[in-house]
Amino acid sequence: MKYLLFFSFLAIFILSAFQLNLESQDDVIFDGSTNLSVALNYLGAKKPFHEIEYTDEQVRQGEELVKLGRTTKRNGKKTKYVSLHYNCTTCHNVETEDPDLRISDPEARLPFVKEKGIPFLQGSTFKGIVNRESWYNDDYVKKYGEELVGKAHQNLKESIQLCATECAQGRKMKYWEIDAVLAYFWTLEFNLNDLKLSDADFEKLNNEKTDESNHPELVNWLKTFYAQKSPATFYDAAPDKRKGYEGFTGNPENGKDIYELSCLHCHQDGGVSHYILDDKSLSFKDLKRTMFKNSHFSLYQIIPYGTYAIPGHKPYMPHYPKERMNMQQVEDLRSYIEKRAK
Ligand code: HEC
Ligand code: HEC
């Protein structure tokens, strides 16, 4: 009898705990502060390969590696610089840079980054990079080939390593360093506010998620609020440089923003390049003089092709795919340079 009583109490206890647990599942309310990965995991989306557990210490180390180029190990010793030439933030922002997360449009990006006071760069932002599903896309794979880019295209950790050695012309990063950068990247993941869900969207999400059969559809629906990759289309120099890119009329005001938020980011005195540009007419005269030449000094070549790292001189300039600076914007820059070179 005693035992029976004991077991029935136990059974009630277990059942109610179970129910509590069920209830707490249903009670989860998603709001703006809910991280995207939390919502997607709840809805049963496939977990990304780069999902990791991490500590605050790793986040600190990762942020230092990204912004300062080196960090301190647990024993207090400093690591070697990943790259002697650049930090990751020479070429990448760490904040949202597109007003609409679904579209990679450099003409919409320019006023948006200007407003925020952040630069306009060749590399895509690290904000939300863990929420992407492929990296080094489209023409990066086509032009550089499976061998160099293939693994990185499918895998964020490989992308970090590839960029450290190829883009930043640095050393190979250690596994713990890559994990630290990844930990920092996880702190930059989107939450549902970043996705700009409306009140009606939140209501739909919270209502429909109580029925598990809706989950796959909700996953797909959430993914319509942001791009799962940063697209990259390469383009060529204008065939006739005097004519420039035909069909576009340059706007010097936008050109000024491009010059200041992009070119000067690296070319001002103290930047990563030896080729110094400033706001004086000499800089503009120089750029104008070389504009029509068949040389990498020409705007029409340096923007779509960049420069290469040559032995003995590692800093090079990455080119801009169309989604990072397009032909309209090259014409905008040209018109500003021509205006200021007078
Ligand atoms: C000299 C410029 C430059 C530097 C320095 C640089 N990157 Fe990049 N990175 C690029 C460019 C250009 C791309 C290709 C375009 C893009 O971002 O999608 C890229 C791509 C990436 C990608 C893939 C992004 C995507 O969605 O396709 C990752 C991840 C990355 N870089 C990480 C890093 C890290 C980590 C560092 C520092 C160790 C770094 N990069 C330093 C220029 C640079
Ligand atoms: C992410 C950094 C970065 C950005 C942004 C950038 N450049 Fe460069 N640029 C470089 C580096 C590095 C070199 C290589 C030359 C060197 O080592 O000093 C270079 C080379 C050049 C050269 C050839 C100079 C030479 O000595 O070979 C020109 C011209 C040039 N850039 C123009 C521009 C213009 C115009 C813009 C804006 C549209 C721009 N750059 C944006 C980093 C950058």
List Cα–Cα distances, 307 to 90, 176, 298, 303, in angstroms.
Answer: 16, 32, 11, 9
What are the structure tokens assigned to 74, written together?
A: 């647990």
Report the pLDDT value the prediction gives residue 74, as an integer from 0 to 100.
Answer: 86
Q: Whose CA is nearest to atom 22 of ligand 2?
A: 297
**Which atom of ligand 2 is closest in space to residue 333's alpha carbon?**
38
Considering only residues 6 and 332, tell me which one the structure prediction assigns the higher pLDDT. Answer: 332
pLDDT of the residue at 23: 46
Q: Which atom of ligand 1 is nearest to 181's Cα?
A: 35
- Name 178's Cβ contacts closer than 8 Å, sequence gap at least 6: 157, 160, 161
Q: What is the pLDDT of residue 2?
A: 62
CB 110 within 8 A of CB 196: no
Supply the pLDDT for residue 1: 56
The finding on whether 135 has its CB within 6 A of some atom of ligand 1 is yes
pLDDT the model gives residue 308: 81
- Confidence bin at 314 (pLDDT 50/70/90): confident
Residue 197 Cβ inside 6 Å of ligand 1? The answer reads no
Q: Is 296 in the pocket of ligand 2 (CB under 6 A)?
A: yes
Mutation choice for ligand 2 from 266, 282, 300, 319, CB with most ligand atoms inside 8 A: 266
Atom 14 (ligand 2) nearest CA: 316
d(CA 43, CA 214): 9
81-85, 91-95, 249-253, 319-323: range with lowest mean pLDDT: 81-85
Higher pLDDT, 80 or 22: 80
Residue with CA nearest ligand 1 atom 21: 163
Model confidence at 258: pLDDT above 90: yes
The amino acid occupying position 49 is F
pLDDT at 12 over 60: no
Average pLDDT, the chain: 92
Q: Is the CB of 184 under 6 A from ligand 1?
A: no
pLDDT digits (tens, 9 = 90+) for 176-202: 999 999 999 999 999 999 999 999 999
In contact, 277 and 265? CB cutoff 8 Å: no
Which position has the higher pLDDT, 16 or 124? 124
% pLDDT > 70, the chain: 92
Cα 334 to chain centroid, rounded: 27
Q: Residue 27: its pLDDT value, please?
A: 76
pLDDT at 143: 84
pLDDT attached to residue 3 = 66
Question: Contact 45/36 with Cβ under 8 angstroms?
Answer: no
For CA atoms 93, 95, 96, 98, the dihedral sign is negative
* Atom nearest to 90 CA in ligand 2: 1
**Across 314-320, average pLDDT:** 91
- Protein residue with its CA nearest to atom 39 in ligand 2: 263
Task: Determine the residue of 91, 92, 275 to mutate for testing ligand 2's pocket, defined as the one with the most ligand atoms within 8 A of the Cβ atom.
Answer: 275
In tens, the pLDDT along 119-145 reads 999 999 999 999 999 999 999 998 888
Examine the pLDDT at 168 and tell me if it is beyond 70. Answer: yes
- pLDDT score, position 309: 73
Whole-number pLDDT of residue 214 = 97
pLDDT at 21: 47
Ligand 2, atom 10, residue with closest C-alpha:
317
Res 228 pLDDT > 60: yes
Residue 262 Cβ inside 6 Å of ligand 2? The answer reads: yes
Q: Is the pLDDT of residue 239 over 60?
A: yes
pLDDT above 50 (res 155) = yes
Residue 259 pLDDT greater than 90, yes or no: yes
Does the pLDDT value for residue 249 go beyond 70? yes
Residue 161 alpha carbon to ligand 1 centre in Å = 10
Q: What is the arithmetic mean of pLDDT over 112-122?
A: 98
Residue 205 CB-density burial (10 A; 0-12 exposed, 13-18 middle, 19+ buried): buried
% of the chain surpassing 90 pLDDT:
85
Query: How many angstroms separate the alpha carbon of residue 105 from the centre of ligand 1?
Result: 18
- CA 2 to ligand 1 centroid distance, Å: 69
pLDDT in tens, 29-87: 999 999 999 999 999 999 999 999 999 999 999 999 999 999 999 889 999 999 999 99
